[in-house]
Amino acid sequence: MRAYTKDIFRNISHSKKRFLAIALITLLGVMMFSGLQASCNDLEKSADAFFDAQHLHDIQIQSTLGLTDDDITALLQDKDVAAAAGIRSVSADIKSSDSKTETLLSDAAVTTLNDAGIDAPYLLKGSLPSAADEALLTEKTAKNNGLSIGDSFTVSATEDTDSSSSSPALLVTKFKVCGIVTDPTDVDNPFGQVSYRSSQSSSDKVFVKPNAVSGSIYTSVVIELKDAKSYNCYSDDYADYVNDVQTRIENKIRPSAEERRTEEVRADAQKTLDDEISASEDALKKQTEEAEKSLSAAGSQAVPKEQLQAQKAQLEQKLKAAQDKIDEEKAAQQKKIDKMEGASWYVMNRTALSGWSNIQSDADSIASIGVVFPVVFFAIAILISLTTVARMIDEDRGLLGTYKSLGFTNQEIQRKYLLYVGMAGLAGSIGGTILAFIAFPSFLFTVFRMMYLLPSYSLSVMPLRAVLGPVLFMGGILLTTVYSCNKELRQSAAALMRPKSPKPGSHVLLERIRPVWRRMSFLRKVTARNLFRYKSRMLMTVLGIGGCMALLIFGFALRDSDVISRYTNAAITSAKLQTSDGEISVSLVVFPDETDASEYVNFDKLEASNAGSIVSADSGTDSTASAGTSISSADSGTDSTASAGTRADTGNLETGDIYVTQNAATLLNFSAGDKVSCRLPDLSEADLPVTAVVRNYIGNYMYMNESTYKSYFGDPGYNAVLASFKDSVSTSAKKAFGTDLKNMSGISAVMVTSELMEQSADTFRLMNVVVAIIIVMSAALAFVVLFTLQTTNISERERELATIKVLGFYDREVHQYINRETWFLTILGVLIGLPLGWLFAQTISVILRLPSISLSVSIHPVSYLYSAVLTLLFALLVQLITNITLNRIDPATALKSVE
């Protein structure tokens, strides 16, 4: 091998630390560049594979009057519908097989499987039902009820429907568990937390064969689209595809289907009424006949005339009353039939499924963090490599001169350093890529497994990113090498072989302040002068540390932004809102005047109501509306107002303000400024002007304060308390508290908002992991920055340090000589990092856009402290290491003169 090449390799082995520093920085940078994105990509891909395998529906339709086979036929006519199946579902309570035990769990839904295999449950244990009395349970249902395979249980419907009606009714009431499954429509992991993002904790499902439930009406119809599987279900293409079909269904099939069904039901009701009335009238006729018979019978007997008259009159009265009653009844019933609400379809896609959309929003928010970080890492990586390479070339000055004098071209000399840096970068890139695509996702999978019930997660590569990351980082550090080399090589060989003259000293501004200067000890004066001597390094240290502080604060802020610890009274009633477009129920929430309602509810005002706009399937604001369906994942770009606004963006509830949530606005087709008619349970009514439409995903709410309510209705009776827990309360304690509350007399309902917080816990479990990763990375970065700068500092001033050693400085004093400067710069960096970190954290709300919570960015003061302490800890660690290096400087060798 040529001597030149040997020199390169020996260079590496003789300066391992430097080589490692460059490799490490590249590794961290490349890993952060792709790691988060890869994990999210894998999550979405794994989920997509699962949903494809289980034939998860692409569209689900529900109707206020139920769906029939005619509807299914109509739907199958659409060119993109591959399969459609009806599902019958009955709400029931589960009891154990011996009826002596109390209800084990209420609100289960006995749901039929379908022959088309849509929404097929994933079998974990056991087998699919073969008989009508065999049932599949989800793990949650099984655990909650203490049931396992082979156990029997009974169900009793919560509403009585007899099996002769067309609505779904239970044919079988005693079931045997034949298998435990995962429901693809609900992949949120219930253990540890309940997903908040569904409107109700999704009912426990019991899956049975179709012949266990009677009825010709379907509770819902699920549809599989032809090309859906060819897309990743989280991609925009999929959303567009489904949206197109949804629109077609809405425009072409829905109107006629609704009409048809409405007519059907009306005709049925009318027929029933007519039958009833004629039956009643027949009965009455019979009664009349009998009465007349008895009268004439009485007339044939010797009964006094007056008595007879009286009896006759009485009878006639009775008959008339009966007839009146029938007429009244007929009129009332007829009125009901005439006033009957028409069928209304709800066409929903997967965004209505909480599990599906949780995955999407989690992947999105994690991915968006993954956008910001690599940029910061990249900047710092360039900084570090610049410093390291510049230092290396500086040390080799004489060697560069020698090479030049021997007749090597600049290119050839540069090649040596490019190869050095290139190999370090390559090693780091390879390591980083492996970590990013294998270790990182695998690690996050453990978290995902806690959050979702997906059976398996697979690793995959994102080829573009895998190449781009290394290219960017290596390109960056190679460019800095070229830059540093060129800078030196521009000098003549002779100049290079002359030792570099040390940087000239100069007077510091501080000297002008004589009283201060005079009082400073000599060593402190030296420190002051030295600080300004190496201005560029000073700047780099301060910025490097400031940047790392900012990253740390960012990490902590992610974790902190979920504080609530207040409570207020409130009046919550259900009210009916009505416009010409229809009527829906809303929860009316009245706050006391003095409460800052925005501390409990995030009023994110939308510009205009979204009625009529057909939004991309990502947005939850279109036709998915009924209270009780979960809506989520509003990645909608449709609103220019702050999407996940900080609390500062939203207004407080002033007197006169009436806010209504967006679903109501869409359904009833009103917007801010319109009037809606509101009817309370006590039947008091008022026309309310809507001040603003606010964002909300779960159910429908109307908000106003006490004064507003008083002006329309009178005093609100406070019947509720909105409360929040302190941070230190654990989730299980919150749940226990909620249960205790529930059991107290006088309390009718408790909604523990740690089911709200569990969404917090849910998201934040993932977030906590991500935050931990970010903090560790930032810490590693801070460490590398400090270490590199410190070692560069020392090697550059080796002679100076050797000299003071010779002059008789103790080791400790030599340490102080250097460390004093470093501490000063570190503290300066920390101070700068504080506002920088605050600024950085404000971008969280923009970056994350978590749909189910508005993150109001708040940073605990303590987090600033943590970040500062961590940074200073690292400074201390680095200092300890460099102290060792300082001790090793041997004055004799360091001072060996070249000239």
Partner 1 sequence: MSYIEFRAVTKEYRTGETSILALNRATFQVEKGEFAVILGASGAGKTTALNILGGMDTATSGEVIVDGNDIAACSAKQLVTYRRHDVGFVFQFYNLVPNLTALENVELAVQVCQNHLDPAQTLEKVGLGDRMNNFPAQLSGGEQQRVSIARALAKNPKLLLCDEPTGALDYVTGKQVLQLLQDTCRRDGVTVLLITHNSALAPMADRLIRFRSGEVTEITKNDHPLPISEIEW
User: Is the CB of 25 or the CB of 497 nearer to partner 1?
Assistant: 497
Stretch that binds partner 1, among 204-212, 299-307, 400-408, 614-622 (CB under 8 A): 400-408
Applying CB under 8 A, does 675 fall inside the site for partner 1? Answer: no
Query: Considering only residues 11, 182, 691, 754, which one is a binding residue for partner 1 as defined by CB under 8 A?
Result: 11
Applying CB under 8 A, does 895 fall inside the site for partner 1? Answer: no
Please answer whether residues 210 and 88 qualify as being in contact, where contact means their C-beta atoms are separated by less than 8 angstroms: yes
Applying CB under 8 A, does 2 fall inside the site for partner 1? Answer: yes
Please state the closest distance from residue 407 (CB atom) to partner 1, in A.
3
Stretch that binds partner 1, among 397-405, 447-455, 612-620, 689-697 (CB under 8 A): 397-405
Please state the closest distance from residue 421 (CB atom) to partner 1, in A.
17
Stretch that binds partner 1, among 1-9, 321-329, 343-351, 430-438 (CB under 8 A): 1-9
Restricting to residues 488-527, name those near partner 1 by CB under 8 A: 492-495, 497
Query: Considering only residues 310, 375, 406, 772, which one is a binding residue for partner 1 as defined by CB under 8 A?
Result: 406
Contacts of 461 (CB under 8 A, 6+ apart): 38, 437
Applying CB under 8 A, does 423 fall inside the site for partner 1? Answer: no
DSSP string, 147-204: --TT-EEEEEESS---TTSSS-EES--EEEEEEEEE-TT--B--SS---TTSSSPPPE
Which amino acid would we find at residue 852? S
Angle 16-53/3-14 helices, nearest 10 degrees? 80
Applying CB under 8 A, does 898 fall inside the site for partner 1? Answer: yes
DSSP string, 626-664: -BTB-----------S-TT--GGGSPP--TT--EEEHHH
Query: Considering only residues 156, 272, 317, 405, which one is a binding residue for partner 1 as defined by CB under 8 A?
Result: 405
Please state the closest distance from residue 15 (CB atom) to partner 1, in A.
10
Please answer whether residues 577 and 584 qualify as being in contact, where contact means their C-beta atoms are separated by less than 8 angstroms: yes
| Backbone phi and psi for residue 588, each to the nearest 5 degrees, phi listed first | -95, 120
User: Is the CB of 350 or the CB of 404 nearer to partner 1?
Assistant: 404
Please state the closest distance from residue 12 (CB atom) to partner 1, in A.
10
Please state the closest distance from residue 493 (CB atom) to partner 1, in A.
4
Strand partners, 180: 125, 137
User: Is the CB of 11 or the CB of 822 nearer to partner 1?
Assistant: 11
Stretch that binds partner 1, among 3-11, 30-38, 90-98, 475-483 (CB under 8 A): 3-11
Please answer whether residues 84 and 147 qualify as being in contact, where contact means their C-beta atoms are separated by less than 8 angstroms: no
Please state the closest distance from residue 10 (CB atom) to partner 1, in A.
4
Applying CB under 8 A, does 587 fall inside the site for partner 1? Answer: no
Measure the CA–CA gap between 263 and 68, rounded to whole angstroms.
Answer: 13
Query: Considering only residues 216, 256, 307, 409, which one is a binding residue for partner 1 as defined by CB under 8 A?
Result: 409
User: Is the CB of 10 or the CB of 566 nearer to partner 1?
Assistant: 10
Please state the closest distance from residue 517 (CB atom) to partner 1, in A.
26
Please state the closest distance from residue 46 (CB atom) to partner 1, in A.
51
Query: Considering only residues 55, 205, 391, 404, which one is a binding residue for partner 1 as defined by CB under 8 A?
Result: 404
Applying CB under 8 A, does 890 fall inside the site for partner 1? Answer: no
> Helix %, strand %, coil % for the chain, to 5?
55, 15, 30
User: Is the CB of 11 or the CB of 619 nearer to partner 1?
Assistant: 11
Q: Outline where 693-807 has alpha helix (H).
A: 706-712, 731-743, 754-796, 798-807
Paired tokens of 611? 């009625």
Paired tokens of 581? 């477009």
DSSP string, 29-41: HHHHHHHHHHHHH
Measure the CA–CA gap between 301 and 279, rounded to whole angstroms.
Answer: 32
User: Is the CB of 278 or the CB of 405 nearer to partner 1?
Assistant: 405
Please state the closest distance from residue 412 (CB atom) to partner 1, in A.
8
14 to 33: interface string for partner 1, x by CB under 8 A: x-------------------
Please answer whether residues 606 and 671 qualify as being in contact, where contact means their C-beta atoms are separated by less than 8 angstroms: no
Paired tokens of 503? 């940087």
Please state the closest distance from residue 418 (CB atom) to partner 1, in A.
17
Smallest CA-to-CA distance from 126 within 182, 75, 200, 164 is with 182
Cβ-in-10-Å burial (0-12, 13-18, 19+) of 107 comes to middle
User: Is the CB of 5 or the CB of 309 nearer to partner 1?
Assistant: 5
Please state the closest distance from residue 419 (CB atom) to partner 1, in A.
14
The CA-atom distances, in angstroms, between 229 and each of 56, 57, 761 are 10, 11, 32
Paired tokens of 384? 């570090």
Stretch that binds partner 1, among 10-18, 461-469, 505-513, 841-849 (CB under 8 A): 10-18
DSSP string, 571-592: EEEEEEEEETTEEEEEEEEEE-
Query: Considering only residues 304, 407, 463, 861, which one is a binding residue for partner 1 as defined by CB under 8 A?
Result: 407
Number of residues that bind partner 1 (CB under 8 A): 27
Please state the closest distance from residue 23 (CB atom) to partner 1, in A.
20
Give the three-state DSSP class for 717: coil
User: Is the CB of 7 or the CB of 740 nearer to partner 1?
Assistant: 7
Paired tokens of 523? 């060593």
Compute the C-alpha angle 326/332/337, nearest 5°: 120
Stretch that binds partner 1, among 194-202, 401-409, 453-461, 686-694 (CB under 8 A): 401-409
Restricting to residues 224-253, name those near partner 1 by CB under 8 A: none
Please state the closest distance from residue 885 (CB atom) to partner 1, in A.
20
Query: Considering only residues 273, 291, 399, 479, which one is a binding residue for partner 1 as defined by CB under 8 A?
Result: 399
DSSP string, 440-462: HHHHHHHHHHHHB--S-------
Please answer whether residues 55 and 117 qualify as being in contact, where contact means their C-beta atoms are separated by less than 8 angstroms: yes
User: Is the CB of 109 or the CB of 482 nearer to partner 1?
Assistant: 482
Measure the CA–CA gap between 353 and 183, rounded to whole angstroms.
Answer: 11
Applying CB under 8 A, does 305 fall inside the site for partner 1? Answer: no
Binding site for partner 1 (CB under 8 A): 2-4, 6-7, 10-11, 14, 398-399, 401-402, 404-410, 412, 492-495, 497, 898-899
